Amino acid sequence: MTNENGRFGIHGGQYIPETLMNALLELEQAYNHYKADEEFNKELQMLLNEYAGRPSRLYFAEKMTRDLGGAKIYLKREDLNHTGAHKINNVLGQALLAKKMGKTRLIAETGAGQHGVATATAAALLDMECVVYMGEEDTRRQALNVYRMKLLGAEVVPVTTGTATLKDAVSEAMREWTNRISDTHYCLGSVMGPHPFPTIVRDFQAVISEEIKAQILEKEGKLPDAVIACVGGGSNAIGAFYHFIEDKDVRLIGCEAAGRGVDTFETAATIATGKLGIFHGMKSYFCQDKYGQIAPVYSISAGLDYPGIGPEHAWLHDTGRAEYVPVTDDEAVDAFEYLSRMEGIIPAIESAHAIAYAKKIAPVMEKDQIIVINISGRGDKDCAAIARYRGENINE
């Protein structure tokens, strides 16, 4: 899927300061070596199964199916993984790789805090130092996750520059990496940034679609008609899509955070409102003004509050293989509450964007059709913020 220089069509590449180039080349070399290494894969599989709790369940949401009156709905329960989200899949892979490369320190960016928590967890398990960069605004929105990271032994650095959200956390982690390379691995949390990150993260997340495929074939004897996932940078979505890309009859639908709407400035829907650009090491679509200044984006979801999208998604969009649709804050909050009451599952507000879109299309689909929604994370971390959104103040 990727060519030699890490391109997905015209997207991707390595737009990064010279200081980091050898680190990226070393990472690529190490990854290519270990991905074929039996011992490495055995160790990773053990961690994924015994520590993270894989495979995650593919759950038939019977009440939701009945309520919407159309397609059969299955939920891929990444929220049941250890640390509560899909992020752990990638982190265990990268942390193990970093350890093999002789690195003793992990740095990471985080938006909602799930990737930071996962990285702090892997660092604790593998005896590595850990520093997490998090936008100051997000440290407020996701205070619980900040505490979890500290509890796990990580240092959390609030980033005050720019919009003090995910993009600024990425920028700061990149700056820190140029400052300290020899003992440090930048454990990037999404399918973004310079090559080889989009490929490495996708490969480690592809376990999601690998499992969905086997599980749905076992349960239904056929492939789903649609796979739906939320998209910020796009790691849970690419994980859920990857093994279906060649199955052209499976619709792949990525749900972007529209915030207050794609016709407002308070949105983070990159495919809907962005244009082609170069940022954070990659060529892809970005929300930006006419002079190429990156736009201050907005979403209720800290994890989707990012002005770009991973290069493989940009390419899937270009080729028409995947569809990308905007979902507003209002729709996501409704879906957050809906799944909680309907199925007794509190989803992450990020994942709620995918649920919201499934609610729209399921009723107009046939009863013998199948939708798989990737529930990328659990929603405990969002309860305080959603309560506030509904005008209720709770103390965590």
Partner 1 sequence: MSEMSMNKIRKAFEHGKAFIPFITCGDPNLDTTREVIREMAENGADLIELGIPFSDPTAEGPVIQDASLRALQAGTTTDKIFDMVRELRKEIATPFVFMTYANVIFSYGIEKFAKRAEEIGMDGLILPDVPYEEKQEFASVFRSHGLDLISLIAPTSHSRIRMIAREAEGFVYCVSSLGVTGMRQSITTNVGEMVDLVKSVNPQIPCAIGFGISNPEQAKKMAASADGVIVGSAIVKMIGEYGTDAPKHVGAFVKEMKEAVEQA
Q: How far is CA 112 from the centre of its chain?
A: 10
Shortest approach of partner 1 to residue 154 CB, angstroms?
Answer: 22
Shortest approach of partner 1 to residue 163 CB, angstroms?
Answer: 9
* Surface-to-core class of residue 62, CB atoms within 10 Å of its CB (0-12 exposed, 13-18 middle, 19+ buried): exposed
The residues that bridge with 133 in the sheet, in sequence order, are 109, 157
Rule CB under 8 A: choose which of 101, 126, 143, 181 binds partner 1.
181
Binders of partner 1: how many residues, by CB under 8 A? 38
CA dihedral 294, 347, 353, 111 (to 10 degrees): 0
Nearer to partner 1, 5 or 395 (CB): 5
Rule CB under 8 A: choose which of 248, 290, 367, 390 binds partner 1.
290
Shortest approach of partner 1 to residue 167 CB, angstroms?
Answer: 7
**Distance (Å, whole) CA 366 – CA 179:** 56
Rule CB under 8 A: choose which of 87, 280, 313, 353 binds partner 1.
280
Catalytic residue from among 76, 87, 167, 381: 87
Work out whether 21 is an interface residue with partner 1 (CB under 8 A): yes
Work out whether 22 is an interface residue with partner 1 (CB under 8 A): yes
Site string for partner 1, 339-378 (x = CB under 8 A): ----------------------------------------
Question: Which of 132-140, 143-151, 177-185, 371-379 is the region at the interface with partner 1 (rule: CB under 8 A)?
Answer: 177-185
Residues with Cβ within 8 Å of 47's Cβ and at least 6 positions away in sequence, in order, are: 92, 96, 125
Q: Is the peptide bond before 296 cis (omega within 30 degrees of 0)?
A: no
Work out whether 217 is an interface residue with partner 1 (CB under 8 A): no
Question: Which of 220-228, 278-286, 352-360, 380-388 is the region at the interface with partner 1 (rule: CB under 8 A)?
Answer: 278-286
Give the ranges where the chain is alpha helix by DSSP (H).
18-34, 38-46, 62-68, 87-100, 114-125, 136-141, 143-151, 166-179, 197-205, 207-220, 235-241, 270-273, 311-318, 329-343, 349-361, 383-389
Shortest approach of partner 1 to residue 240 CB, angstroms?
Answer: 29
Shortest approach of partner 1 to residue 132 CB, angstroms?
Answer: 18
Active site residue 376: yes
Work out whether 174 is an interface residue with partner 1 (CB under 8 A): yes
Catalytic residue from among 109, 137, 312, 331: 109
Residue 284: in which H helix or E strand, if any?
Answer: strand 281-286
DSSP assignment of 138-178, as one string?
Answer: HHHHTHHHHHHHHHTT-EEEEE-STTSSHHHHHHHHHHHHH
φ, ψ at 282 (rounded to 5°): -135, 155
Work out whether 111 is an interface residue with partner 1 (CB under 8 A): no
Work out whether 294 is an interface residue with partner 1 (CB under 8 A): yes
**Distance (Å, whole) CA 57 – CA 231:** 21
Between the alpha carbon of residue 28 and those of residues 13, 130, 147, 195, the distances in Å are 13, 22, 33, 8
By the 8 A CB rule, do 81 and 54 touch? yes
Active site residue 109: yes
Nearer to partner 1, 13 or 116 (CB): 13
Work out whether 19 is an interface residue with partner 1 (CB under 8 A): yes
Give the tokens for residue 90: 């990638």
Rule CB under 8 A: choose which of 218, 293, 367, 391 binds partner 1.
293
Nearer to partner 1, 140 or 175 (CB): 175
The residues that bridge with 259 in the sheet, in sequence order, are 328
Nearest Cα to Cα of residue 376 among 236, 200, 182, 208: 236
Active site residue 100: no
**Distance (Å, whole) CA 101 – CA 23:** 11
Work out whether 20 is an interface residue with partner 1 (CB under 8 A): yes
Work out whether 192 is an interface residue with partner 1 (CB under 8 A): no
Tell me which residues touch partner 1 (CB under 8 A).
5, 13-23, 161-162, 167-168, 171, 174-175, 178-181, 275-281, 283, 286, 288, 290-294
Catalytic residue list? 87, 109, 376
